[in-house]
Amino acid sequence: MAHNRLAQRLERLARFDNLTGALSRKALLEAAHARLARAASGDRGAVREFVAVVDIDHFKSVNDGYGYGHAADDDVLRHFADIVAARIREGDAFGRIGGEEFCLFCRAEAIGDITLLVERLRRTVEATPCGLLHYNLQRGHRGRESLASLMVRADARRLYAAKVAGRNRVEAPAEDALA
């Protein structure tokens, strides 16, 4: 019985980020690969896979600028992950991919559906104080392409565009750019 509990604990540590409870980077990428393979192998009609890369604005200032230290950083990350996990749809995959960066994989018929979901998350996060500050998020891209290419486009293009445009915003490609 102790062996089974240990095995379950190790499995949980491997699949979930210990700090936030979101999927670990490894588990998220495995889920994403499986989802993209299923989407490529069968006809799912108009439903496609989309990805949003989410970054907490000015996260470094929690520790550096406000002087609250690493415990406050952890509180912000946990609070953010709790908000998102409670509001995503069943079947969406949400995980932490590093530092203050998270990723959300979703199925939808159109980019507009995912843009609305991510915008609702952004507004909720913006309106929810963590006891220290309000924090914000940006958003990434979609995909019918390789996972590596999808992640690069979401992170490098859309997330960067959101930061350049003033942060605290959702950046999504036009629907016709997805064809």
Active-site residue, from 100, 101, 119, 126: 100
Question: How many residues can be counted in the chain?
Answer: 179
* Catalytic residue status for 100: yes
Rounded to an integer, what distance in angstroms lies between the CA atom of residue 113 and that of residue 2?
46
Rounded to an integer, what distance in angstroms lies between the CA atom of residue 51 and that of residue 49?
7
Residues 105/97, Cβ–Cβ less than 8 Å: no
Q: Which residues are catalytic?
A: 100
